[in-house]
Structure 1
Amino acid sequence: MKNKKLYILAILAIAFSSCNKELDEVNINPNAPEIPQPDYLLTGTTKTTADTYWGGTNNMNSSLLFAQHWAKVQYTEEDRFIFSNSSFTSLWSTGYAQSIAGFNKIIELGDAQGNPNYRGVALVLRSWVFLLLTDAYGDIPYSQAGKIKQFVTPVYDKQKDVYYGILNDLKTAQAALDPASGKVISGDVIYSGNIALWKKFANSLRLRIALRIADKEPAKSKQVIDEILAEGGTYINSKSENAQLFYSDSPQQNPVAASFETRNDYRISKTIVDKLFALNDPRLPIYASKTDNATPQTYVGIPNGSTNSEASAIGLANSSRPGTYFLAPKAPAVIFSYAELLFDRAEAAARGFTTENAADLYKQAIRASFDQYSIGGSAVDDYINQASVQYDAGNYKKSIGEQKWIALFGQGLEAWAEQRRLDYPQLTASVNTVLSGKIPVRFIYPGTEQSLNGQNYKNAVSSQGADLLTTKLWFDAF
C-alpha cells in the first residue's frame, strides 16, 4: 500500500512538472527577446535618466527653486520648502532601480559581446547618476548598490568615498573606451556612437568631481587633473560636443514642455531676472518669456518663497514664464556644456591646479554660454567689458560662481550643487519659508529607506547628521 501511494505521488509530481513546463512555454512572448539588447537598453535607460534629471520633481519643483532660477506662481508650498519624506523619492528610486540597474546590465551585456565601448559608455553614465545622487543626498549606497542578489539592504558609503569611487570608475571607463577598436555601439542618443566624444565627456566629469571635492581634498583634486593631462586626455571642446539629450515631439517631448502643456505653476525667479537686468545680459530674452500683459519691465520674475496670495497678486499674466527656448518640445536636457567646462578649467587654474590663464578661460566660458544660445557679435564684448563682469582674481569664487550660475540656467541640480560649493551668488531665503532663513542644502532621504533599509539608514544619519534639508554635506565646506 505504501509503495502504491508513492507511485501515485510520483505520477502527480510528473504531471505537475509537465503542467508548469507547458505554462512556462505559454507565457513566453515570442515577439520579445528574453535577453535584452544593449542598444535598446542604452536608449531607454539614458532617456529615463535624462527625464528624471530634467523633469518636475528633481528640477522644476526643487533644485531650480533652491538655486533661484525658477519660482512658483501657484501652489507655492515647495518654494517655501514645505516637503515631506516622500517628496524626494523620484531621484532615488529611478536612479537605483532603473538607471543604475540598466547601466549595470549594459556593462554585463557589453562584456558578454566583447565590446568594451558599451562598458565604457555605461560606466560614464552610471557615474553621472551616482554623482547626482550623492550631490543631492550625501552618503548613499554605492559599493553595494545594484547588486540585489548579494545585498538586499546595501550599506551607505560616505560621500567622500562615493566621489573617490566614481573617479576610479571614470578612469576605468576612459581606459575601456577605444575609438580605434572597431567595436561599434548603437542606441546612443547623446553622441550617436562617437566614442572619442565619450572619452572627452568622461574627462569632463572627472574635472567636475575634482572641483567638487577641491575645498576638502585639494591634493586629490590636483592629482586627478594631473592624471588626465598625463593620459593625454582632452575635454569637451565646443558646443557641438555638449553632452545633452535632444527630445522629439509629443509624447517624447522635453519634460519642461510636457509640464507647461497642462500646468501653469512656474515662473522665472525675480532673483535671476534682477541680476540679468543689472548686467544688461542679452540672455534675458532667452531665459524668460515676455509677460502676457504689457508691463513696464516686459520680463517680470516672481520672488522665491512667495505665499500663494502674494504670487496671485502679481498674477499669471503679469509674470514671465521661462523662455520659449526652454519650453520647446525638442529643447535639450543639457548634462554637461562647453561653457561649464571652461568655467571649470578657469577655476582649476585659479586654484593653482594648472598653469592655464584663469582670466582668459573665464572670458571664454562667458562667450561659450552666449554661443550656446547663438548670441554673438559686439553684445558679447560689451557684456564682458563691464566692470561688474570683469574677472576678479582676488575672489575667483565670486566671479566664476555668479557667471556659472547664470550659465547653468535650467540645470537645477548642477546649478544648486555649484552654488552650495562656491557660495556664490549669495542667495537669500524669503521670510515665508519654513527653514528659519536657510535654503535647503540637501534632499532628505525617501521615507521608504527607513522601513526597507532601516539600520543602514540609521548608520548614515548617525555619520552624516540629521536627515534634514539643512544638514550640510561633506563637499559643502563653507
Structure 2
Amino acid sequence: MLKILSKSALALAIVVASSCSDRLTETNVNPNGIDPATANPNLMMPEVMNSAARAYLELGYGDVAGVAQHIQHDGWFSGVNHYDWGPQDWSGWYNMLRNNEFMYKRSVALNYKFHQGVALTMRSFIFGVITDLWGDAPYTSAVKGDQSNELLKPAFDSQEVIYKGIIADLKAASELFGTKDATGYTTGYDLFYAGNPTSWQKFANTLLLRYYMRVSEKMPAEAKAGIEAIYSSGIYIKTQAEDATMAYIGATSGNAWPGAVAFDQEQSNFRRKKPAQAFVNALVSTGDPRLKVWLAPVHVRWVADETLTTDVDKFIRKDGVIQQGVSYLTDVVLLAEVKKGTKYTRHYNPKLYKGTLDTGEYVGVPAGLIQPDTYNNNPTPGQTVQNQHVSQLAEIYRGSSGGLLKARLASSAEASFILAEAALKGWSVGTAQANYNAGVKNSLETWGVGSQYDAFIAKPGVAFNNTLAQVMEQKWLANWTMATEAWFDYRRTGLPALKAGPASAEPVVAVRFNYGDNEVNFNRTNADAAINKLEVTKHSGLRGKNSQWSKPWVLQGTNKPW
C-alpha cells in the first residue's frame, strides 16, 4: 500500500512540475507591476500632476497662507500664524521628481514629444517649489541614486544654477509643445489640459514669466529679455479658462478639498481656518466682489448701544430680541438660521467697554496674536465652538469637490500682473495699466464675479494709479489659495507691507523653510555647505544659519523684504 501511494505521489509531482514548467513565464510576471522597459508614460502622468497640484494647494491654503496673511488659525495656530517651524522635510517633492524622471525617460525612449514636454514642465514646477521654499537644493545630482551609490547623498546646487535650469527646461518644453505633436497621448490621463499641447505651451511660458520675475533682482538682463520674448510671442495664459487647474474628486479625504467637512465630523479643520485681518480689510475697503465668494459674514455682529447699562450684553439677540440664557450657538445652528435670513447680534456700550471691538460685517483675525481664539471678545475660546464674532471662510470651502474647489498652479491673473510689473520697470510688454486691468478682470472672472469688473475697476483704490504697491496688492488678493506666490512676491518686493504679529519669535515675516532632519543628519556635508551659504540676518537668532529668517541667494543683496 505504501509503495502504491509513493508511486501515485511521484506521478502527481511529475504532472504538477510539468504544468508549472509550461506556465513558468506567466506565473513569474506580476500582473500589477510596471516593467520599466515597457512602461506607458500615460500611466505615470496623472500621479505626478495630482501629487504636485495637491501639495501646492495645501501650501497655499495652509501654512504659507498664514505667512502671506490670507488666513490665520485660531486653533493649532503656531505654524500658520507665528512661523513656528522646525526642520521641514522635502521628501514628498523629491518622490514626485522620481516618478516624473521615470516618465521623462520613457517619453524620450518612445520619442513622445508631448510627454517629454509635460515631464520637463512638471520638473520645473516641482524644483521651483523646492528652491523657492528652502534655497539651495539637490538638482543636477538629484533622483539619480539608482545610478551610483555616491548620488545617494547628492550635492546641493546653488539657487542660481537651479533657476537657470528651470528656465532652460521650460524653454525646451515650450518648443516641444510648439510642434503640436501629441503622439502617444491616451485620452483621460492629462488632468490639467486633456492632452492639448497648445494649452501646455501657455502653461510652460507662464511659468517662465513667473521665474524670470522671481530672479529679476539677481538676473535683470536675462529676466527682461525673457519676459519681453514671451510677451512678444503672445503664447501664455491670458484668460481664466486657460488657467492650470486640477479639480478634486471628493470621494475620500485623500482626494477631497482640504478640510472638507464630509470627512471631518467635528468640522474643526474648517472651523479653525479664519481670514486674516489684513486680507479682509483690503477686500472691504474697496467693496471687492470676491469678498462674498471667499468669506462669510460674522454669525453674530457686534452693535454699539450707549443705552446698555453694562459694558456688553451677556446674551445674544435674535432679530433684535435678546435670547435669555443664550450667550452663543453652535456653528451648525447659526448656519441654518442665517440661511433663513435670521440676524444675530450682540450689543455693547462703547462708553463702558474697555477694549476694542470690530463691529464689521466681515471680521478677520490680526496676524500673529498670542491667543487668536479670544479675538473680538469670543465667548467660547478654544476649539469646541467657532468664534461667532469672527468671519469664517465661505460655505463652499466646507465642500469636498466641484465648482471653485480647484488646485490652481498658474493663472491668467498672475501672468497679467507679472506683465504689469514688468511694464512699470520700463520693459517692452505693453502698458502697465492694460496689464493691471487684465489681471483684475481675469481674477474676477476666475471667481465668478466678472460681470462686476467695470464698476470695480473704476473705484478709488482699484483704478490704476501707476504704482507697484497697487499692482502687488491686487496680485496678492488674486493669489487666494495660491499663497505660495503671494509669499514669494512679498519676499522679493516687500509688498504688500505685511507685519509679523506679537507672538512671532521675530518682528518680521519669515522668508524660507528650514532644511529637514533627513538632509542635516544623513547628507550632512552637503547640507552644511548649503546652510553656510545662507545669509545670517539679525533675525536668524539662536537658530543659527538654518533659520526661517536667514536669506537664500535669491534675496541676498536685495534688501528685501526687510
Task: State the TM-score bracket (shorter-chain normalisation).
Answer: 0.7 to 0.9
Asked if residue 83 in structure 1 is aligned to residue 157 in structure 2, the reply is no
Asked if residue 266 in structure 1 is aligned to residue 263 in structure 2, the reply is no
In structure 1, the residue matched to 2:362 is 299
In structure 2, the residue matched to 1:429 is 500
Counterparts of 1:225 and 1:428 in 2: how far apart (Å)?
31
In structure 2, the residue matched to 1:387 is 460
Counterparts of 1:358 and 1:343 in 2: how far apart (Å)?
9
Counterparts of 1:412 and 1:112 in 2: how far apart (Å)?
38
Contact 1:120-1:176 within 8 A present in 2 as well: yes
Match of 1:68, SS state, is: coil
Contact 2:370-2:502 within 8 A present in 1 as well: no
Output aligned runs, 1:58-73, within 5 Å. Answer: 58-73=59-74
Output aligned runs, 1:1-400, within 5 Å. Answer: 28-35=29-36, 36-55=39-58, 58-78=59-79, 79-85=81-87, 88-89=88-89, 92-97=90-95, 99-148=96-145, 149-150=147-148, 151-186=151-186, 187-228=189-230, 232=233, 234-251=235-252, 252-257=255-260, 263=269, 264-293=271-300, 294=344, 296-308=359-371, 310-311=373-374, 313-314=377-378, 316=386, 317-330=388-401, 331-377=405-451, 379-393=452-466, 395-396=467-468, 398-400=469-471
By how many angstroms is 1:310 displaced? 4.7
Amino acid at match of 2:477: I
Asked if residue 449 in structure 1 is aligned to residue 519 in structure 2, the reply is yes
Counterparts of 1:309 and 1:355 in 2: how far apart (Å)?
44
Cα 1:376–1:180, aligned 2, differ >3 Å: closer, same or farther? closer
Contact 1:243-1:337 within 8 A present in 2 as well: yes
In structure 2, the residue matched to 1:402 is 473
Counterparts of 1:134 and 1:111 in 2: how far apart (Å)?
26
Output aligned runs, 1:465-476, within 5 Å. Answer: 465=535, 466-476=545-555
Amino acid at match of 1:471: S
Match of 2:408, SS state, is: strand
Match of 2:434, SS state, is: helix
Counterparts of 2:64 and 2:34 in 1: how far apart (Å)?
39
User: Which TM-score applies when normalising by structure 2?
Assistant: 0.75
By how many angstroms is 1:227 displaced? 4.1
RMSD after superposition: 2.4
By how many angstroms is 1:177 displaced? 2.1
Contact 2:181-2:197 within 8 A present in 1 as well: no
By how many angstroms is 1:380 displaced? 2.3
Greater C-alpha Rg: 2
Amino acid at match of 2:547: L
Counterparts of 1:262 and 1:94 in 2: how far apart (Å)?
26
Counterparts of 2:246 and 2:434 in 1: how far apart (Å)?
29
By how many angstroms is 1:401 displaced? 0.7
Gaps of 5+ in 2: 1-22, 301-343, 346-358, 381-385, 536-544
Counterparts of 1:303 and 1:334 in 2: how far apart (Å)?
26
Match of 1:333, SS state, is: strand
Cα 1:432–1:27, aligned 2, differ >3 Å: closer, same or farther? farther
Deviates more, 1:25-34 or 1:208-217: 25-34
Counterparts of 2:116 and 2:156 in 1: how far apart (Å)?
25
Contact 1:339-1:366 within 8 A present in 2 as well: yes
How many residues are aligned here? Answer: 446
Structure having the higher helix fraction is: 1
Deviates more, 1:33-42 or 1:43-52: 33-42
Counterparts of 2:45 and 2:72 in 1: how far apart (Å)?
34
Provide Cα deviations, 1:399-429, integer angstroms capped at 9, x if missing partner: 1111100000111211111121121110111
Contact 2:61-2:482 within 8 A present in 1 as well: no
By how many angstroms is 1:155 displaced? 1.2
Counterparts of 1:245 and 1:320 in 2: how far apart (Å)?
27
Contact 1:49-1:94 within 8 A present in 2 as well: no
By how many angstroms is 1:297 displaced? 2.7
Contact 1:190-1:243 within 8 A present in 2 as well: yes
Contact 2:117-2:173 within 8 A present in 1 as well: yes
By how many angstroms is 1:468 displaced? 0.5
User: Which TM-score applies when normalising by structure 1?
Assistant: 0.87
Gaps of 5+ in 1: 1-21
Counterparts of 1:156 and 1:93 in 2: how far apart (Å)?
15
Amino acid at match of 2:442: A
Contact 2:423-2:432 within 8 A present in 1 as well: yes
In structure 1, the residue matched to 2:341 is none
Aligned-residue identity in percent: 27
Match of 1:320, SS state, is: coil
Cα 1:80–1:229, aligned 2, differ >3 Å: closer, same or farther? closer
Provide Cα deviations, 1:429-462, integer angstroms capped at 9, x if missing partner: 1112112x11111111111111111001110011
Counterparts of 1:177 and 1:375 in 2: how far apart (Å)?
32
Counterparts of 1:325 and 1:400 in 2: how far apart (Å)?
28
Deviates more, 1:317-326 or 1:102-111: 317-326
